[in-house]
Amino acid sequence: TPERSFESNPTVCPFCGVGCQIEYAGRGSATGVEGPVNERGEICPKGAAAFDVVDNDDRLTEPLVRHDGHFVTAPWEEALDRVASGIGRVVDEHGPDAVQFFASSNCTNEENYVLQKLARVLGTNNVDNCARLCHASTVAAMSERFGAGAMTNTLDDLSETDCILVNGANPAEQHPVAFRSYVLPAVRDGATLVHVDPRANDTTEAADVHLPLRPGTDIEVANAIAAVLVEEDLVDEAFLAERTTGFDRLREHLADVDVAANAEAAGVEPAAIREAARAYGEADRAAIVTGMGTSQHRCGTDNVHALLNLALLTGNIGRPGTGVNPLRGQNNVQGASDVGGLPGVLPGYEPVTDAAARERVAAEWGVEPPAEPGLTEVEATHRFGDEVRAAVVFGENPAVTEPNATAVASAFEELDFCVVIDLFETATAAHADVVLPGSAWAEKSGTVTNTDRRVMRMRPNADLPGNARCDFEILADLGRRLTDRPEAFDYDGPEAAFDELTRVAAIYEGMSYEGIGDGYQRWPFSERDGTGTDVLHAETFATGERTAPLAVVDPVPPADDLGADELTLTTGRVLQHFNSGALSRRSERLTAMRGEDVLQIHPDDAAERGINDGDRVTVSNERGTVEVAADVTPAVREGVAFCTFHYPEPLANALTGDALDPEAKIPEFKHSAVAVEPT
C-alpha cells in the first residue's frame, strides 16, 4: 500500500530451511544478496515472491475479538486484557497444564525463546512446534544414536561427497538453492545420486538410481541395502570394531534379510537395491539426505534408525562429505526447537527432567520450569476440551496442517479460550476468541537458524501495516500479563533475549549479534572454530570418545490397512507453495505458477477406475472426502496417489491419519488408505 515504507536490508527468506539471504528490491519484489548459503545471491521463485505476503491487502491490521460469535476490531489493550482474562481463568480453574502453546517454526529464535519461557514460567511444558510434524522422528533416532538430532554435516559439504543417498526428500523442489548450489555440482563432478521416493520428481531427474518404493516400506529398503553392504563386504570393519557396538547382532539379523523379498515388498527391483548399496558402500565419502518421506510414518523413528545403520556400517559419519542430513522445511524449524519450543526439552535440548538443567534456567528466569514433559501438538489436539482447555497459537495453522484436520478444526471449538497471533485470518484463527495481528518476516529483527545449524540475522525491510505489532513485543507483553514474573519479560528488544538465550543454551554460548554480523555462527559454537562447528562428531568419532550403537530394526506395517480397491495417499509439497498455503497462495505470481492442486495417479490405476487426465475425482476414507482434478501420470508409482497440503480445497489433511510414532509422536502423513473414483 502506498503509505507503507520499504527499505533494502539483508535478511533471511522465510520459505524454507536453506536460509538464502534476500532483501527488498523495489516494486514489491525480493532479490537475493550474497549470503552464507546463497553465495552468489541465488534465490528460487518463492524467495522472489516473498514480499507478496508482506504487502498484502488481506493482512490483519487491528486486533480482533469475538463478540456475539463474530469478530470485531478492538484496541490492543482490550484484546490483550481478553487474552489475560481468558488464559487466566483456565489456569485458575484447571491449572497451567490446561494451556497448550504452539510455537512457530516460521518465526525468530528470540520470539520462540520468549514463547516457551512464557509457557514454562506460567507453569507448563505444553509447548511444541511443527518440528513435531516433520522431523521429530529423525531427531529422536539421531539423538539416541549420535547425541544430536540436526544435520551432522553442512549444505556446502554435500558438494564434497562421492555419493548422496536422498531418502524421502525432494530437495530439487523443496530446497532448490541448496540442490542447485551443492548437490548438482557434486553430481556433475561424478557423485552418484540415489533417490528413494515413490514419485519421480525433479530430484529424480538428476539421479543415477531411483527406488520408487511403496510408501511405508523404508525399513525393507534400508535393511536390504544394509544386507547387501554386509554380504558384499562393503562395510568398514575397522570403524565398526572401534566406533560402534552391536554389529554382531545386526549382522545376524541382516543374514536373515532376503534382498529379493524385501525388494518385492517395497515394489522395487532387487538389482536397483544392489546398485544403490554398491554406490553408497564403495564411495569414499557418502552422505545421506533425509526428508519427510522417511520421517512421517508411525514407524518414523525406526525408519531413521534403519538409515543410520547404513552410515555406521560404512563409517560415513564424523567426516566431511558424509553424515546424515535431515533437511528442514521452514526457515526456523531448527531454531524453534533449539531454543526450547518442544515439550520435553529446555533451550539447548536439556531434558526438562534434568534437575541441574532446570536449576540453570531458574538462575536466569527466577523460576524453575516444571519437571514433567508437556504434551506434543497432536496429543494436545486430541485432548482439546478435556484436559486441554486453552491454546496460544503463534504463527501456525494447525486446523490445516495437523492430520485428520477436520477433527482438529472441530476440536478447536471445544476449547474455553484460544488466541491466535498471525498475519491473516487463517483457518485456525476462525476458531479463536482473540486474533492478534503480528509481524511478517520482513518486518522483524532477530535471528533464525537454518537447516545446517547456521544462526543468521533477520532485519526489517518494511514497517508494520496499520496497528499490527512486532511478534516479539506481543509475546513479551503476554509474558508480563499472564505470569506473576512480569520483570522476566522486560526486554530491551530481541538482542537482549538472544543474549539471555546464549547464557541458557550451551550450544549457542558465545554467539552474539555482533559476531553473526552479515554472516552466521553455527552451533555448537566455540570461538576457537571461528564460525562454529561444521562437521558434528568429527572429534568424538575420530578419537574413539564416542561409540554409536547399531540397531536391529524390523518392518512395521502402516496404521491404515489398504483395502483391495484402495490407493495409498501420500502428501507433500511443491516448488511454488509453502506449507498450509496461508502465505504463498496470497502471492499472485506463485498462484499464477500453480493455482490449484491436482491428484497424481498412475495411468493403470486411473484406467481401472475410468478416470481420464483432468477429470474431477472424489478421494475419500473414513476421515473425510475431498474433490480434486486428476493428473494421470506415470511419475507416481502404481498403487499410490499424491497431492499437496498447500490448499484448503482439497484439504489433504482431511484424509491423513493421526496414528503416532510411539516415541516421537509424529503422525503418519505419508500413508493413508483412500478410495479414488470419478466424481
**Residues binding ligand SF4 (CB under 6 A):** 13, 15-16, 18-20, 43-44, 46-47, 175-177
Q: Which is nearer to ligand SF4, 172 or 234 (CB)?
A: 172
The total number of residues shown for the chain amounts to: 679
16 versus 619: smaller Cβ distance to ligand SF4? 16
* 167 within 8 A of 288, measured Cβ to Cβ: yes
Q: Say how far apart CA 193 and CA 49 lie, in whole Å.
A: 30
Three-state SS sequence of 427-488: CCHHHCCEEEECCCHHHCCEEEECCCCEEEEECCCECCCCCCCCHHHHHHHHHHHHCCCHHH
If the CB atoms of residues 106 and 426 are measured against ligand SF4, the closer one turns out to be 106
Q: In the complex with ligand SF4, which residue's Cβ is closer, 177 or 279?
A: 177
Helix residue ranges, H only, 148-236: 171-174, 176-178, 184-188, 202-205, 218-231
Distances (CA, A) of 484 to 282, 477, 489, 496: 60, 13, 11, 21
Q: State which residue, 19 or 267, has the beta carbon closest to ligand SF4.
A: 19
Nearer to ligand SF4, 34 or 413 (CB): 34
Q: How far is the CB of 441 from ligand SF4 (least distance, A)?
A: 10
Residue in the block written with cell 558402500: 281
Cell matching residue 667: 503422525
Chain-centre distance of CA 499, in angstroms?
Answer: 25
Could you tell me the smallest distance in angstroms from the CB atom of residue 41 to ligand SF4? Answer: 10
In whole angstroms, the minimum distance from the beta carbon of 48 to ligand SF4 comes to 7
Q: Which residue is nearest to ligand SF4 (CB)?
A: 47
> Shortest distance, CB of residue 380 to ligand SF4, whole angstroms?
29
Whole-number Å distance between alpha carbons of 30 and 8: 9
How near is the Cβ of 188 to ligand SF4 at its closest, in Å?
19
What is the rounded CA–CA span in Å between residue 638 and residue 635?
Answer: 9
Q: How far is the CB of 656 from ligand SF4 (least distance, A)?
A: 24
**Nearest approach, Cβ of residue 15 and ligand SF4 (Å):** 4
Give the closest residue to 182 by CA, choosing from 146, 150, 153.
Answer: 153
Instruction: Report whether 292 contacts 572 (CB < 8 A).
Output: yes
In this complex, which beta carbon is closest to ligand SF4, that of residue 141 or of residue 177?
177
Q: How far is the CB of 229 from ligand SF4 (least distance, A)?
A: 33
Q: Are 392 and 374 in contact (CB under 8 A)?
A: no
DSSP label of 422: E
Closest contact distance (angstroms) between CB of 289 and ligand SF4 is 15
Secondary structure element (H or E) that encloses residue 360, with its range: helix 355-365
Complex with ligand SF4: residue 329 or 460, whichever CB lies closer: 329
Q: Are strands 624-632 and 598-601 parallel, antiparallel or unpaired?
A: parallel
d(CA 255, CA 248): 11
Residue found under cell 550450544 = 507
Which residue, 44 or 235, is less far from ligand SF4 as judged by CB?
44
